[in-house]
Amino acid sequence: MNRRCKKGQDISGRVMILDTYGVVQVDSFSRLNGTRLALPEVLEVLNGQKDTAYGFHKIDSDNSYFWSGYYASAIVEDSQVIGVALFSESIADVVSNINSIKQNYSAISCIAVLVVALISISSPAIFLGRWNNCERARLLLLWAILKSGFKWTAKTRLQSWAARLTR
């Protein structure tokens, strides 16, 4: 294994030098030499839109995929862009951490919604402290309808709720 390959693997990334046409002249893994890369980051730097550019890409590989970050910087001589230095690195650990955080937030949000729903359904009297009798009657009637699964035609149930109002 030559020194370039060893050094590229040591930094846990890949370093490539591209010419003005986007053709790889030097690859630290020696796999893409002579290949034209038409990555958006490379094109932005070669067209002079930016001095540096970066992007994140989902790479398909053997029935699976991984995420990679590309960081491109212009190589300039006499105020002319003569090439691009491109660094590529796997960001799979960052993506898995973000997915883990998203799952945790989703679980916490669901639990919070359930807790609020359970508290509001099981004990509406907690929220009735400052309301007048008319507002209480409306809320208790609504609560009775919801709790009974919209089978609120039973007069005894409504009468029991009305009796609670007079207390």
Rounded distance between C-alpha atoms, residue 142 and residue 135, angstroms:
11
The pair of structure tokens assigned to 30 is 């020696």
The pair of structure tokens assigned to 138 is 């409306």
Q: How confident is the model at residue 1 (pLDDT cuts 50, 70, 90)?
A: very low
| pLDDT reported for residue 3 | 62
Say if residues 86 and 37 touch (Cβ distance below 8 Å): yes
Range in 26-30, 120-124, 154-158 the model is least confident about: 154-158
- Percent above pLDDT 70 for the chain: 69
Say if residues 70 and 94 touch (Cβ distance below 8 Å): no
Query: What tens digit of pLDDT does each residue of 3-57 get?
Result: 655 555 566 788 999 999 999 999 988 889 999 999 999 999 999 899 999 999 8
Average pLDDT, the chain: 80
Rounded distance between C-alpha atoms, residue 140 and residue 148, angstroms:
12
